[in-house]
Structure 1
Amino acid sequence: MKNVKLTIEYDGTNYSGWQIQNNAITIEQVLEENLKDITGENLKIIGSSRTDAGVHARGFVGNFLTESKIPSDRFRNILNSKLPEDIVILNSEEVELNFNSRFNSKGKTYSYTVLNTPQKPAIGRNYVYHFRRDIDLALMIEASKQFIGTHDFAAFKSSGGNTKTTVRTISSLKIIKQGDYIIFTVTGDGFLYNMVRIIIGTLMEVGLKRIEAKRVRDILISKDRTMSGPCVPPEGLCLEKVYY
């Protein structure tokens, strides 16, 4: 028995997220079906997170236990020869048997990209949130500082999920403008269901001057989801890296 760790890049456009579902195609399903073809085993991949439909990843991590004699580093090339073009294995390696890609994770970095132009894009539309209105970057940056640290993020979580606590720590939240693109980069020890997308939605409400920058702290304290901003669309979100 050995434990194989995969680092995975994928375009989530055509999938209903990572986790297997009864009536939709997911990343996990495609990987497990291909692994069964390769090994003859019914393998279960443990994923580092449960990305939603339409969300992308550059550095997703998964692991699986196998009796296969295939060298661990060979799984990368074998899987890539079989997988669809929108799922790529960047690396495969053997790790300790007790390694768990979800529970051993110490943190993650996500990016979210907004295209701020009058007209919607034809090319790249599946990787950005197109937003037409002018938005105040300085106000968003000011408000973003209040998310740094350890807080109860109950006001920034969609209903659903089975987490034991809504307390999380955000170590970094950066906002930069590159031409017509506004890029948010968030690093934390973990994230609640839709937490990143609701934080971005709240910051954009600040940028539109619908929520005062100083009110972010009050929203955190309130733990009231109705006080925070909307959950922005999934296509702008990308899991960049998982830390161990």
Structure 2
Amino acid sequence: MDQQTPFSAPGIELWLVDLQAPAREREAPAPGDWLDEAERSRAARFHFERDAHRYRASHTALRHLLAQRTGVAPAALRFAAGRHDKPQLDLPGAPAFNMSHSGRWALIGIGGQAPIGVDIEAPREMDDLMALAERNFTASECAELLALPEAGRLRAFLRCWTRKEACLKAVGSGLSIEPGLFEAGTTPERRTTTLPVSGQACEVTVVSVDVDCEALAAVAWVEPGSRHLAF
């Protein structure tokens, strides 16, 4: 069932979607009935049906929520891709949105005109956690991880990872910006950080969110003075 998550930033709605819930619980058709040809083709390329189902279910939920926001029928919504393939609605005055999924969960964010990004990660065992951190985190973020008991590092790592991913997705840069070039932090509070975009400083605010499941999640948005730098 789609579940709106408590969140304090004005103008942004966050929805947690259980991709294993039957379609009837979402008041939507069977996953795939609203999808366009490109989405159906993408779903067909997954090797495992489980992954194809999750893709169809997440995109069906996205269309359902965007239809409620825009008044356009779910199947009639059309999407375009930004410079780094970040999807956007092909509709005048359309709200910004972003989606992430991991395991059985999807997180959908719908905002106003400010570019936004969301990320969700289900915990999983990681033998090379600190090696990954050293390649993708700042020196201070790595130090924060090392200061924690080993048992607490995984969730702190994933918290930082989701925060960085949300920032990069808000800017729409894909992986063209190295995640180790900006601070997102391993703790959940809101902070404004600076990403290097086209030789300029792009201000992005990020905060971790409680999605009431085992996964970790974050949402980020580009600050007004930097929106011209988002892709």
- Whether TM exceeds 0.5 here: the answer is no
TM-score by length of 1: 0.25
Name the larger-Rg structure: 1
TM-score by length of 2: 0.26
Considering fraction of residues, name the structure with more strand.
1
